[in-house]
Every structure is written in C-alpha cells, then in structure tokens.
Amino acid sequence: MPQRQLTGTRIRERRLRAGLRQAELAGRVGISSSYLNLIEHNKRRIGGKVLIAIAQELDVEPAQLTEGAEAALIATLREARATHTGAGAETEQAEELAGRFPGWAEVLARSHRRVATLERTVETLTDRLTHDPHLAAALHEVLSTVTSIRSTAAILADTREIEPEWRDRFQRNMNEDAARLADRVQALVTFLDREGESTEAAAPQEELDTWLADLGWHLPALEADTPEAADALREQADALSSAPARAQARAWLDRYADEAAQLPGGALQRWCADNAPDPGKVARAFGVSLPVAMRRLASLPADGPTGALGMVSCDASGTLTFRKPVDGFTVPRFGSACPLWPLFSALSQPMVPLRTVVEQPGRDTVRYLCYAVALPQGEVEFGVPPVLEAHMLIVPRPPGAERDGPARAVGASCRICPRTDCGARREPSILADGF
Amino acid sequence: MGKHVLVIEDEPNIIEAISFILSRDGWQVDTHSNGGDAMDTVLSKRPDLVILDVMLPGRSGYDILTDLRNHHETAALPVLMLTARGQNKDRDMAERLGANRFMTKPFSNADVLDAVRDLVPQ
C-alpha cells in the first residue's frame, strides 16, 4: 500500500492513543462516523479542511498524518524481510506494520541493523583469524613452545633412569621455554588488545597513512639535500610491517622527493606568506601540475603561513588513495567517503577545476574551501579511454568567512554522519539512535 | 644400529626432545633446522623416515614434501608431518601432497613414538 494511502491508519493510531471513540472524533470535525471509519481503513482519500480539522483535534501537524516519519523504517523492514525470505513476511505489509505498530516496527528495524553490524564484525574477525599472518605466526610460536615443554616434561617424568647431564639440560630447556612462552603469550595478548581497538583489518594504505601522520606529513629530510636523513627515512619505510605498505611508502617518498625538487618547500612557503593557498595560482606561478601543487601545499608544515591543509585523492572507482585529514574535516579510515564531497563531483566533470565551500557537521562547524579537479592518470593516448584520478585540497576557512556564501553541507561517511535529511545517504548512520 | 630418522624442525628444544626419545627407543637420529637446503640433507643422509615441520625458515614443509615426492630416490620415503595448524585444510593439503602421517602440535612423546614405529617397522 503506498505510503500516502496510510493516512487513515495513522489517524486511527492517533485517535486510539488520544483515547477518543470514532463517533466522538467524527462529531468534533463534523463528519459521520461511517465516513471516518472508511477514512481510517484507507478506503477514502482525505485532504483539505477535514484533514486539518482532524489533525487539530488530534494535536498533530497535518503532515504527520499524510507523510508519516517512517520512510526509513519501512526501508529497513524491507531489508529485514529480504534477509529472511523464508520467514514468510509479506512485503506489502511493511508499510502497514510501520503505520499501525510503529514501536514494534522500530524494535524490529533496530534488531535488524544490530544483527547486520554484528555480522560484519564477525566476518572481519573471522577473516583476521584465518588470514592474519602476524596472528598465525604468533600462535605457531606459542604452540611450538608448548609442544617443547610438553615433550620435555614428559621425558623428565617418564624416564626412570636419566643421566644427570641430560636431566640438567632438559630442566634448563624447560626453564627457557617457560620464559619464552610467557613472553610470546604476552606479545600475543598485546597484539590482540591493539587489534581489538578496531575490527577492521589494517590495510597497507592505512599503515602508510599512520606512518605519515606520525611524521606530520612534512619531511624536512626530503626538502633539503640531506642524503643521510633521506636514507634514514627510507630505512623507516622499510620497517613497516607489510610488504605492500613498504612498497607504497617507498613510492610515496620518491614522489615527495621528486616534487620537492620541482617546487621547493622554502619558495612555496615564502609565496604563501603573501598569497592565499590557491593550487591553481601555485601551479601557474611555479610551472607545476595541479596535483603537484596540491600535494606540495598539503605537505607544508602546520606552523607555516598556511597552517595545516588537508588533501584527499581518489581513483576512478572513488576509492581514496591519499588521505591527509585536517582538523575538523573528518576523512573516513574505512569504507567510502561522503558522495557530496567536491572530490567526487570533479570525477563527473574531468578537467574542470571546482572551488567549493563546504561544512561538515561537528561540535564547532567549520567551513572549508575545497579545490578539486579530476585529471587523467599518466599519459593520454588516442583510442584509449583515460583513467581518471581526482584530487581535493582542503583549506580551513577562518571564523566569520560567511562572505563565501552558502556552504555545501557534506559529511565524512554515511555511517558516522548525523544528517538525517540527506538525499545522498546510502546507509543508516550509527549516530541515528540518540546522537 | 637402528633405523635412521631425520628430524627437520626449527625449534631447538623440540629437536632435542624428539631426538632423545627416539634415541632411547633405538633409532639413529639426525636433525636439520632449515627449510632452504633440507632436500640436500635428505639426499645425503638417506634416512628411513623424515619428521617434517610445516613452518620452517627458508622453505615450507609442504614445498619440501612436494620435492620429496617428485624425486625418484625419495618418492616412497615415509614422512611424518608436524604442524601447529590443525585445520582440516592443512591435513588435506598434507595428505594430498603425500604425507604418510600428520600430527598437530602439541603432540605427546608416545604419539610420536607410535607413529614412527608404525611407519618404519624395526
């Protein structure tokens, strides 16, 4: 049943909640009981004066009776039904359930969302237990040490006549193994505690981002001609735990050094002392490409003339390939970002530079000026469709920058975005219940 | 002189314990702790049985087992695999590659002795 046709069901709910009999309400609004009965069973459309009068008597806004607030609820109920197709729930009854029993429908919807969240957590943890090489190695070490202790203890317990030197040797082995076991179990517990902070598997990109964040994204060793410091930095990169993260870090450092040679940090800082950090103007002034200008601006030290700037890049699939967050502008660590970011608008308008003021919901709403552009990756060839890559520089605006005009309301990602009236929402927010 | 067992395992105290119990049972025991050159050691020592750990530095026990089965001198050599992973897929993998027996850590000394005696009757 279409949602707008549930107006009668909502009127009936509200009337019963108000403790009114059908005849009583009908009399107050000047219609017959039988007509109200038809309305309440959704057999007569209602609008105009009668609707306003009934809403007034029931002390609600007319829109609450005609539109309801259960669109998201109905969508979740349908999802729940699709998950349990064998349970026999009737698809067409979802709206009626939401309309007639909103409280119970909400309980069902919340349970469905909770189950989905828990299933995701279980999947991630199972995947980790099965495939995490660190965990597998740690467990192997623990089991090997336990095996050694068990075998040695059995020898000492079961061998009636054992030479003193062998006995001493096995006792020493057991003592060593016990100490090793304690260390290994401790290391394992520490690992699990650390990993338990998040149920998401640590991706190479995340490991790289964490390392760069620790370095502050500004690398003086690569800005100046100091080969020893640059080598030390590369050794640090080689100490990252996963091979893909090490490879990405190496490539990142090489690109940083190359771009620092194209556009030296000192010259850029001096230029920024007199100019706003507009990547288009930087690109023209220094003869570099827009992505280089953006990355160089994003790599400037936070205590310099520009302050800290953020930057994100994505490939043509929308996957973030570069994430440098800036205070107040949240960049999701996992999953997809907000589709309203100018970064993604740029993907649909290749080669068109976009300049957009945005604001994210937060404790203190701050505005950001975003410069975004999508360009082909690598060289362009005739007859070969270009693969696009988009970049966005994020410049915090000072308080009182309303002269920028209205700001585009964006979020970080749907999961943690409290905006309820967003047309771009693809999944419910975990902040919806009580934040 | 008893029959000859080669233990390929990288945990020194496990090597020592297995060597002790097998020696006491009358077996001649050699040991090796690296996967990379384990095949050369097998060919030079010519044991009657190999006790082979799965996780070894240099080369995995599964790779070594594959080489053993592909070499005409060792294709029928009895192999007892040891592993800390007791999942069915690991057992299946060992069987598919031609292991004669598969034991999960932590095992008991008696189980190891029984398996060795069973695989190579004295």
Q: What is the DSSP string of A96-164?
A: HHHHH-HHHHHHHHHHHHHHHHHHHHHHHHHHHHHH-HHHHHHHHHHHHHHHHHHHHHHHHHH-SS--H
Nearest CA-CA partner of A13 in A48, A46, A42 = A42
CA dist B17 and A162 (Å) reads 13
Nearest CA-CA partner of A423 in A72, A70, A67, A113 = A72
Encoded amino acid at A317, one letter: S
List, for residues A371-407, the tens digit of each pLDDT value.
Answer: 999 999 888 888 888 899 999 999 998 766 556 678 8
> What is the predicted ipTM?
0.87
The CATH code of the domain that includes B85 is 3.40.50.2300
In angstroms and rounded to an integer, the radius of gyration of the C-alpha atoms of chain A is 32
Of A5-14, A115-124, A328-337, B91-100, least confident by mean pLDDT is: A115-124
Split at pLDDT 50, 70, 90, the class of A349 is: very high
A111's CB contacts (< 8 A; 6+ apart) are none
Split at pLDDT 50, 70, 90, the class of B112 is: very high
Q: Identify whether residues A39 and A152 lie together within a single domain.
A: no
Q: Identify whether residues A102 and A38 lie together within a single domain.
A: yes
Interface contact A166-B20, CB threshold 8 A:
yes
Does residue B106 have a cis bond before it (omega within 30 degrees)? yes
Pairing of strands A367-376, B28-32: unpaired
Distance of CA B3 to the CA centre of its chain: 14
CA distance B73 to chain A (A): 31
Positive or negative, the CA dihedral A146, A147, A152, A154 is: positive
**Is residue A397 exposed (0-12), middle (13-18) or buried (19+ Cβ within 10 Å)?**
middle
Question: Is A363's pLDDT higher than 60?
Answer: no
Q: What are B87's two structure tokens?
A: 């999942």
Of A137-146, A152-161, A176-185, A194-203, least confident by mean pLDDT is: A194-203
Q: Is B122 among the domain residues?
A: no
Q: Which residues of B80-103 are buried (b: 16+ CB within 10 A; e: fewer)?
A: bbbbbbeeeebbebbeebbbbbbb
Q: Identify whether residues A97 and A143 lie together within a single domain.
A: no
Instruction: State the pLDDT at residue A334.
Output: 62
Q: Identify whether residues A82 and A161 lie together within a single domain.
A: no
CA dist B103 and B7 (Å) reads 14
Q: Does A153 touch chain B (CB under 8 A)?
A: no
Q: Identify whether residues A49 and A86 lie together within a single domain.
A: yes
CA distance B72 to chain A (A): 32
CA dist A289 and A209 (Å) reads 23
The phi and psi torsions of A315 (rounded to 5 degrees) equal -90, -175
CA distance B78 to chain A (A): 22
Q: Is A374 among the domain residues?
A: yes
Q: What are A357's two structure tokens?
A: 């003021």
Nearest residue of chain A to residue B10 (CA atoms): A144
The proportion of chain A whose per-residue pLDDT surpasses 70, expressed as a percent, equals 86
Residue range(s) defining the domain that contains residue B60: 7-116
Tokens 């009337």 sit on residue: A15
Q: Is A351 among the domain residues?
A: yes
The CATH code of the domain that includes A15 is 1.10.260.40
List, for residues A3-13, the tens digit of each pLDDT value.
Answer: 445 788 888 88
CA dist A251 and A254 (Å) reads 5
Q: Which of B9, B33, B105 to mutate to test the interface with A (most CBs of A within 10 A)?
A: B105
CA dist A58 and A66 (Å) reads 13
Instruction: State the pLDDT at residue A64.
Output: 75
Angle at which helix A133-158 crosses helix A164-195, to 10 degrees, equals 150
A273's CB contacts (< 8 A; 6+ apart) are A305
Q: Is B17 among the domain residues?
A: yes
Q: Is A200 among the domain residues?
A: no
Q: Is A300 among the domain residues?
A: no
Q: Is B79 among the domain residues?
A: yes
Does this model's pTM top 0.80? My answer is no
Q: Is A372 among the domain residues?
A: yes
Nearest CA-CA partner of A9 in A104, A98, A107, A108 = A98
Q: Identify whether residues A391 and A322 lie together within a single domain.
A: yes
Pairing of strands B49-53, A408-409: unpaired
Q: What are A308's two structure tokens?
A: 């800290």
Q: Does B79 touch chain A (CB under 8 A)?
A: no
Q: Does B76 touch chain A (CB under 8 A)?
A: no
Under DSSP, the state recorded for A325 is -
Q: What are A284's two structure tokens?
A: 């023209």
Q: Does B107 touch chain A (CB under 8 A)?
A: yes
CA dist B101 and A222 (Å) reads 56
Q: Is A386 among the domain residues?
A: yes
Q: Which residues of A33-57 are buried (b: 16+ CB within 10 A; e: fewer)?
A: eeebbebbebeeebeeebbebbbeb
CA dist A38 and A204 (Å) reads 63
Q: Identify whether residues A66 and A150 lie together within a single domain.
A: no
When divided into structural domains, chain B yields a total of 1
Interface contact B105-A143, CB threshold 8 A:
yes
Interface contact B17-A136, CB threshold 8 A:
no
Split at pLDDT 50, 70, 90, the class of A1 is: very low
Interface contact B16-A173, CB threshold 8 A:
yes
CA distance A185 to chain B (A): 15
Domain boundary among A154, A176, A195: A195
Interface contact A147-B105, CB threshold 8 A:
yes
Q: Which of A135, A141, A151, A176 to mutate to test the interface with B (most CBs of B within 10 A)?
A: A151
Residues of B in Cβ contact (< 8 Å) with A146: 105-106
Q: Does B111 touch chain A (CB under 8 A)?
A: no
Q: Does B20 touch chain A (CB under 8 A)?
A: yes
The kind and range of the H/E element at A344 are helix A342-347
Q: Is A119 among the domain residues?
A: no
CA dist A343 and A315 (Å) reads 10
Interface contact B13-A173, CB threshold 8 A:
yes
Tokens 């749907």 sit on residue: A414
Q: What are A133's two structure tokens?
A: 């090489």
Q: Does A167 touch chain B (CB under 8 A)?
A: no
Tell me what the mean pLDDT of segment A194-204 comes to. Answer: 54
List, for residues A111-152, the tens digit of each pLDDT value.
Answer: 877 777 777 667 666 666 655 666 777 787 888 889 999 899
Residue range(s) defining the domain that contains residue A91: 3-108
CA dist A327 and B110 (Å) reads 63
Q: Is B35 among the domain residues?
A: yes
Instruction: State the pLDDT at residue A412.
Output: 83
Residues of B in Cβ contact (< 8 Å) with A177: 13
Split at pLDDT 50, 70, 90, the class of B66 is: very high
Q: Is B2 among the domain residues?
A: no
Residues of B in Cβ contact (< 8 Å) with A145: 11
Instruction: Give whole-number Cα distances, A3 to A55, A70, A107, A189, A422, in Å.
Output: 18, 9, 20, 53, 20
The kind and range of the H/E element at A281 are helix A279-286
Q: Please, which residues bridge with residue B81 across strands?
A: B52, B102
Using CB atoms, pick whichever of A136, A146, A152 lies closest to residue B17.
A152
Selected residue with higher pLDDT from A403 and A295 = A295
CA distance B106 to chain A (A): 4
Nearest CA-CA partner of B111 in B1, B29, B17, B3 = B17
Residues of A in Cβ contact (< 8 Å) with B107: 147, 150-151
> Could you tell me if A393 and A354 are in contact, meaning their C-beta atoms sit under 8 angstroms apart?
no
- How high is the mean pLDDT of chain A? 82
Q: Does B113 touch chain A (CB under 8 A)?
A: no
CA distance B115 to chain A (A): 15
Q: Is A230 among the domain residues?
A: no
Q: Identify whether residues A313 and A408 lie together within a single domain.
A: yes
CA dist A22 and A36 (Å) reads 7
Query: Which residues 177-216 in chain A show a CB within 8 A of chain B?
Result: 177
Q: Does B117 touch chain A (CB under 8 A)?
A: no
Q: Is B111 among the domain residues?
A: yes
Domain boundary among A146, A165, A195: A195
When divided into structural domains, chain A yields a total of 3
Question: Is B13's pLDDT higher than 80?
Answer: yes
